[in-house]
Each structure stands twice: as C-alpha cells, then as structure tokens.
Amino acid sequence: MTVKKNKPAKFLRFWKLLGPGLVTGASDDDPSGIATYSQAGAAFGLSTLWTSIVAFPLMASIQQMCARIGLVTSQGLTGTLKKHYPKPVLYLMLLFSFPAIILNIGADIAGMGAVGNLLFPSIDATYFSVVFTVVLLGLIIYLPYVKIASALKYLCIVMLVYFIVPFLYVQDFRAILKNTFIPTIKFDKDFIAILVGILGTTISPYLFFWQASVEVEEMRHKKKHLMVNKKIIHEMKQDVDFGMTFSGMVMYFIILTTGTVLFNGGVHQIDTVEQAASALKPLAGKMAYLLFAIGVIGTGLIAIPVLSGSVSYIFAETFGWEQGLDKKFHEAKGFYVIIAISLILGLSINYIGISPIKALIYTAILYGITAPVLIAIILHISNNKKIMGKFVNSRTTNILGAIALLIMTVAAVALIYLQLTSK
C-alpha cells in the first residue's frame, strides 16, 4: 500500500518540477512545425523518422545552455548579449529575430483559424484567427505569471492526442523500427529541403531567448535568484530534457501518422496543417481527423504566447524596460505593448497578401541565418568563466553544441542555396 501511495506522490513532485523546459518543448511543435512534419511524412513516408532521435540531444544541449545562462546571470540571453558583446551583434540579432518571430506568429494564427474552420465550417477562418488573437492577448495581459505558466503547462496535455492518432490506423512495426534507427538520406533537392525545414523548426532561435528569460522569471517568482546551486541546475536539466523528449516524441508521431496514412493513401503534398487534418479524415477516420485538429489548436495556444513573449523579452532587455509576465500592465507597459504589437502584426499578415506558406519559408530563411550565429554566441557565453563561474559547459555539452553549430551552419547554407536555385 505504501508503494502505491508513493507513486502518485512521486509523479506529483515530478510534475511540479516541470515548467519552462516542458513549455518550451511543447511550443517547438507549433502549427507551422506540424505543417513541416506533415509534409515530411506525406512526401517521404517514414524516411525522416530518425530525425527526431538525432535532433533530441542537440535541442536539449542548446536549451540547457540557454537555461543555465538565465539562472546564473539572472538575465535573459538579450541582456547577457547587451552586457558582454558589442552592440552591433545585439542589434543584428534583433533585426533578424523580430520579423522571423512575427511571420511565425502569423503562420500559427492562420493555421489555428483554418483548423477552427474545419471543425466549424459555418464560421469563416478569419473570425477564428481574430478570436484566438484577442483571447490570447487578453489572457497574457490579465493573468499573472504563475497562472500563465500553469495554463501553458496543462495545455501540453492536449498534445498527447498525437500519441494516439497513428494507432487508429494499421501500422507496419518492422518498417517503423527500421526507419527510426537506420537513417535514410536521399541526395535530392526536395529531401534535403525537408531535412533543413525539420532542423529549422526544431532548433529555433526564439526558443533560445524564451528559455533564458523565462528561467529568470521562474526564479524570480520562486525567490531563488540568489540561490543557484547544483540542485537547481540538475532540476533545470530534468525539466529541459523532459520537454525536449516530449517535443521529439510529438514530432515523431506526427511524421509516423502522415508517413503511413497520407503517404500510403497517395497524398504526397501537404502545405498547411488544415490540409493534413482534412486528408486524414477519409483515410484514417473522423476520430483521427478530430484529434489531429484539436492538437493543432492546443499547440498554437502554447506556442503563440511563447513567440510573442520571446520577442517582448528581446525588446525589453535591449532597451532596458521593465519586463516580466508576473508584472501588471501599468508596471511594464512597454513589455506588454510589444506583445500586443507582435500579435496584431502576426494577425495582419493574413490580410496583406502574405500566404502562410510564404511566411513559413521566410521564417525558415531568417531562422536559418540567425541560428548558427546565436549557437556560436551561446557556446562562447556558456564557456566564459567570467560570466558563468563554475557553471560552464561540460565536455559533453560542448561536443553536442559544436555538432549543433556545424549541422545548423550546413543547413543554413543548404537552405539559402535551395532558395536561390529554386524556380
């Protein structure tokens, strides 16, 4: 009886431990990311399943570095850049990050609106987009940090639907295992493009900024900003590892779903999340379609606050404004105004002629350019004893970070080349 009672208690303790890392991981699988994974599965079947295994240690190592920077310095990544690096580096990151994040927000809002329209065809997608935007803005401004963090954390549960969807369809488990552990690489333009797209979606610069800043917010809320020690660092690593594992598994099951259902059903071109959801309905049944669609809306509700929050942290730290989701509007007006502007600009993309697909392409290009530079800077900060003290990177973390830097640099070059040579 004691063992049975202890299991729920252990789970509750672990659940309380989870926070910024879990939310960051879940937000990585936003509607635009789901569109990328869906296209990978539809176009190439199970051939890209292995990427979720490869991406995990790279994602986790970078996010751990960002979290540790926030914990040790009590500043976000932007604040650390501002303090220790030349201003042109900071402004360059701002120049590239802001439009990329806005385009990402726009693509996600459009995806949520379109899926809302699929579920309720009598209501136009634009109405859903506006409603989602207004509701999110109101909740971000009105709710204190602890409630926002709790809401985002529990919304992550919605994403468990993607663990169910593949098994509503008959699966070939031998093929799944083979493609999971034996990498397939096809040296053709479309396959390389989708690999670059997956990398750009999983290792996104906005997550670097968010992770560092929200760790500071979390510590401030818990009043632990002067008590950083090995225990806190260990708990952060557990949180980040779980979040990145969760993110990788969601990615894996989306590719598995579309790589079996859509690919085997002859649907090889998916440009948007609503297309993926619609295509599932006749092939895998109404339940798979509904669960997939609900998951899109759930992950959008997680990702958009993270996207808008990250851009607001960047601006606030750059210009020395009061910041924090734990502050009321009148205490941090600039911070909340940037969140409002980012959401409104993201929504407006749907009305100025930029399609969600073009927004995703432009976002990928901008992320592809900034990610390698940011990873290099994060590695430099994380190994600087003057900044990090005794909490500098371990050898393993440096190796994983270097691999991530190399792969993202190659991906950036490939992405730019593919865009310049595409007709």
Contact (CB, 8 A) for 147 and 328? no
Domain-located, residue 10: no
How far is the C-alpha of 359 from the C-alpha of 106, rounded, in Å?
A: 7
Outline where 320-394 has alpha helix (H): 333-348, 356-382, 385-388
pLDDT at 277: 83
Contact (CB, 8 A) for 59 and 204? no
Tokens of 334: 């600039």
Domain-located, residue 12: no
Task: Give, for 253, the enclosing helix (H) or strand (E).
Answer: helix 230-257
pLDDT at 178: 94
Domain-located, residue 87: yes
Give the confidence band of 131 by pLDDT, cuts at 50, 70, 90: very high
Distance of CA 39 to the CA centre of its chain: 17
Residue 366 has pLDDT above 80, yes or no: no
Task: Give, for 121, the enclosing helix (H) or strand (E).
Answer: none
Read off the pLDDT of each residue in 190-217 and give the average, rounded to a whole number: 87
> Residue 219, SS3?
helix
Q: What is the DSSP string of 185-212?
A: ---SHHHHHHHHHHHHHHS-HHHHHHHH
Task: Give, for 40, the enclosing helix (H) or strand (E).
Answer: helix 31-44
Residue 8 has pLDDT above 60, yes or no: yes
Contact (CB, 8 A) for 283 and 42? no
Count of domains observed in the chain: 1
How far is the C-alpha of 231 from the C-alpha of 233, rounded, in Å?
A: 5
Domain-located, residue 2: no
Domain-located, residue 122: yes
pLDDT at 78: 92
Model confidence over 280-334: pLDDT tens digits? Answer: 887 777 888 888 888 888 888 889 999 999 999 999 999 999 998 888 888 999 9
Contact (CB, 8 A) for 205 and 370? yes
How far is the C-alpha of 41 from the C-alpha of 249, rounded, in Å?
A: 14
- What's 163's domain CATH number? 1.20.1740.10
Give the domain extent around 259: 27-421
In this prediction the pTM is 0.89
Say how many residues make up the chain: 423
Domain-located, residue 15: no
Tokens of 216: 């500071």
How far is the C-alpha of 279 from the C-alpha of 282, rounded, in Å?
A: 7
Model confidence over 342-360: pLDDT tens digits? Answer: 999 999 987 887 777 677 7
DSSP secondary-structure letter at 166?
Answer: G
pLDDT at 14: 65
Q: How far is CA 77 from CA 70, 84, 171, 243, 383, in A?
A: 7, 11, 43, 20, 14
- Tokens 């598994």 belong to 249
Read off the pLDDT of each residue in 58-76 and give the average, rounded to a whole number: 92
How far is the C-alpha of 379 from the C-alpha of 399, rounded, in Å?
A: 10
Domain-located, residue 262: yes
Domain-located, residue 5: no
Please indicate whether residue 167 or residue 240 has the higher confidence score (pLDDT): 240
Residue type, 66: C
Q: How far is CA 177 from CA 44, 161, 174, in A?
A: 16, 21, 5
pLDDT at 345: 94
Among 68-72, 91-95, 207-211, which stretch is predicted with the lowest mean pLDDT? 91-95
What share of the chain in percent tops pLDDT 70?
Answer: 94
Read off the pLDDT of each residue in 88-117 and give the average, rounded to a whole number: 87
